Structure 1
Amino acid sequence: MSLTLADARIVTPEGVHDGWLTIEDGRITHVGHGSAPGPGLSVGGRHVVPGFVDVHNHGGAGGSFPTGEQDKAREAVALHRRHGTTTTMASLVTDSIDGLTRAAAALAELCEEGLLAGIHFEGPYIARARCGAHDPTMLREPSPQEFAGLVKAGRGHVRMLTIATELPGALDTIRMAVAEGVIAALGHSDADYDQTIAGIEAGASVATHLYNAMPPLGHRAPGPVAALLDDERVTVELINDGVHVHPAMLRLAYEVAGPGRTMLITDAMSATGLGDGDYVLGPMRVRVDGGVARLVEGGSIAGSTLTMDVAFRRSVQEVGMSLPDAVQVASLTPARVLGLADRIGSIAVGKAADLVVLSDSLEVSGVMKDGVWITEP
């Protein structure tokens, strides 16, 4: 079955053009300029962008990936798909090794179905001083042997590990993770500049939610922020919800790292898509007030209630990114980090028809996954 989308403003990393595209068997088969050569579904001059890719997401719609509950995970994925995220990686939080093993095994089944793009362990190998919304009683020193067991539980679907590079055993664990095809991400860390560089040299290539849960940028003690932004081997995550990072600091990171090394994430938790109230993030109790999630005890920010369409829109309207750059940081760069850029992340012939239709104000009006409408414009 073939479908042509006509009267579109197609956004690619190279630019924006008026045109059309054709989809067959879930793939993009033609991308053209001007008027479509035959009949098609008009999108009325609205923007068409690739589906968003979120590599750091704890849940939504009341579902929390750290619990490993498959039905709830499906609800979370469905919510984020309606907001344009067509590829989601499930992020866990610090828990017992048994708890993490069980959750990884359950989520691996959803990865095998194609519902999830992988599993991300955010903890337990993180710094007590920067643990944020993680249970400090469950933090552990990194162990390559122990992490190998978690990788085994994920049956080939563990894609990322967030780790504090200054902890004993961290560098060996980073090397082991990278050797197993797992992305090592530096975060929830109290490392200084040199310790961060050591982690990068060991193979770490991502900064977990840059600026958050790490020492701030300083002119005499530059800390991890400077090391992570300055190194061409590192891609930095940014939470653009207006709470986690000031737009000026987000703009600074984007201008230094560029769209090729910057990726938007949500860090969303179970309350996303719901109202204020009491929730949980792993074993921790969370209260959402005014859309901001914080721990009941201590008040630390506990993830977000952000969706990628909002992060995308803010990147254009508040940070000043061009539409092509916003597409790159929301779709293509995270797809590249996951090793999926040959299949998703941009509008190109041969890639999956994962598409989002956006109004002039960049509100979602349609979402397609593998050529099938989730929300029809």
Structure 2
Amino acid sequence: MRIKNVKVYREDKSFEEGEICIRDGLFAAPGEETENSGEQEETLDGEGCYAIPGLIDIHFHGCMGHDFCDGTEEAIEEIAKYEASVGVTGINPATMTLPVEELEEILATGAAYGKKQQAQPDPARADFLGVNMEGPFISEEKKGAQDARNIRLCDVEIFHRFQKAAEGTVNYIGVAPEKEGALEFVEAVKDEVHVSLAHTNADYDSAKAAYDRGACHAVHLYNAMPAFTHRAPGVVGAVADSPHVMAELICDGVHIHPAMVRATFKMLGEDRIIFISDSMRATGMPDGRYTLGGLDVDVKGNHATLVSDGALAGSATNLMDCVRTAVKKMDIPLETAVACATMNPAKSLGVYETRGSITPGKKADLVLLDKDLRLKAVIKDGNVLTETGR
């Protein structure tokens, strides 16, 4: 396949007018597919669209009435189908703070789905890349929409139970470093999983100690953590002072003020920021009452709040819409926003060799956007899911 007349997003984070070649589900060097194939070349006219890699969401819970924690392969299939339809071709869904045995079952289901998907690839569904465990090793004070009844102290044995059930697919585990045993936990598992600071009431010193001991990630920066102030910089200050740490941002226009998003880019730089959606099951659905982690949530527009206390309960916005919001309402350059939803998450997950950029040899997952960033086509593994003109 040849996709002509597009602005191609390059690894140096620039757009260049040109074309994209695909052979056997992978990006190919221009002309390579015609040299190795006797069949007539399929051509897609990109009509001047931006051509960007398929997005990767490393932290979200669900969409279209389904949640990863529903614990069924059918739910994951429907989630993966929706995500692919909006240009998110790689997913790393998140768990909630639930009983240990229930989490083991959810993780086992995710692992089974992942193996099934590898054995029987379906280009109409986003690739399952693993799991982001947001709980249960978090803080009661900053639990947000997590169920406090299931919060536990960090426990290496329990983490290994999780990873065994998940067949090694847990990529991130969240901790509150101020809690008893948390720093020792970080040191014990840092070589097995990305340790995140998540739903924590830690001050600067506690957070920095965790990062110095091997934690390397921050879950939805600014949310479910102490405020960033000039005398008490908290977790945000510790992230800023820890160059190896990558931080998630929810750019849905609800969770973080645009000025703070811009300030974060100035503070951390564009290579350390990962856009996430943190979307819950109401995403793609009408306004109404839904559940998240067993708790009731009211959704109106893109606001999702707990019925019990009004706390923000994830988002009702997919990652592609977050990218649009970052560009159109937060003044983040498109080139930067794309990197934060493709290259940066791929690098954090350790899969940049195979996805995350439009590079010969990588999976042919890409999205075409018009000048107003409206979705014109999704191509996954070289298969056109939604298409513009030919």
TM-score (norm 1): 0.95
SS of the residue 1:237 aligns to? strand
1:65 paired with 2:84, answer no
Match of 2:5 in 1: 7
- Asked if the contact 1:104/1:154 (under 8 Å) is kept, the reply is yes
SS at match of 1:268: coil
TM-aligned CA deviation for residue 179 of structure 1: 2.3
Structure 1 equivalent of residue 228 of structure 2: 217
Kept in 2, the 8 Å contact 1:276–1:289? The answer is: yes
2:179 alignment partner in structure 1: 167
2:49 match: 46
Equivalent position of 2:19 in the other structure: 20
Residue number among 196, 218, 238 corresponding to 2:207 in the alignment: 196
In structure 1, the gaps of 5 or more residues are 33-37
SS of the equivalent of 2:29 reads: strand
Report the CA distance between 1:72 and its aligned residue: 1.4
SS in 2 for 1:44: strand
| Cα offset, 1:346, TM superposition | 1.0
CA distance in 1, matches of 2:269, 2:356: 17
| Partner residue in 1 for 2:122 | none
Q: Deviations over 1:78-116 (max 9, x none)?
A: 111111110000100000001101100001112222441
Amino acid in the other structure paired with 1:99:
E
SS of the counterpart of 2:279?
Answer: coil
Partner of 1:138: 150
Correspondence for 1:85:
88
Q: Distance in 2 between matches of 1:59 and 1:290?
A: 16
Once the two structures are overlaid, the 10-residue window that deviates more, 16-25 or 222-231, is 222-231
Task: Show structure 2 runs of 5+ residues with no match.
Answer: 32-40, 119-126
Number of residue pairs matched by the alignment: 369
Q: Find the aligned partners of 1:301 and 1:321 in 2 and give their Cα distance.
A: 24
User: How much identity, in percent, do the aligned residues show?
Assistant: 36
Who is 1:35 aligned against?
none
Q: Which residue identity does 2:259 align to in structure 1?
A: A
Cα distance, 1:242 vs. partner?
Answer: 0.6
Q: CA deviation at 1:31?
A: 5.1
Pick which of 188-197 and 72-81 moved more.
72-81
In structure 2, relative to structure 1, the CA distance for the partners of 1:272 and 1:39 (3 Å cut) is closer
| SS of aligned partner of 1:215 | coil
Q: Which residue of 1 aligns with 2:77?
A: 74
What code does the residue aligned with 1:17 have? E
Q: What secondary structure is seen at the aligned counterpart in 1 of 2:342?
A: helix
Q: 1:163-218 CA distances to partner (integer Å, 9 max, x unpaired)?
A: 111111112222233222x1111120000001001110121111100000000111
Tell me, in whole angstroms, the C-alpha distance in 2 between the residues paired with 1:208 and 1:81: 23
Q: Does the 8 Å contact 1:59/1:77 carry over to 2?
A: no
Q: Distance in 1 between matches of 2:23 and 2:237?
A: 45
Local SS of the residue matching 1:18: strand
C-alpha distance after superposition, 1:334-373 (max 9, x if no partner)? 0000001111111111111110000100111111111112
Give 2:108's match in structure 1, choosing from 105, 108, 115. Answer: 105
Counterpart secondary structure, 2:327 = helix
What is the CA–CA distance in structure 1 between the aligned matches of 2:221 and 2:137, rounded to whole Å? 17
**Deviating runs (4+, > 4 A) in structure 1?**
none
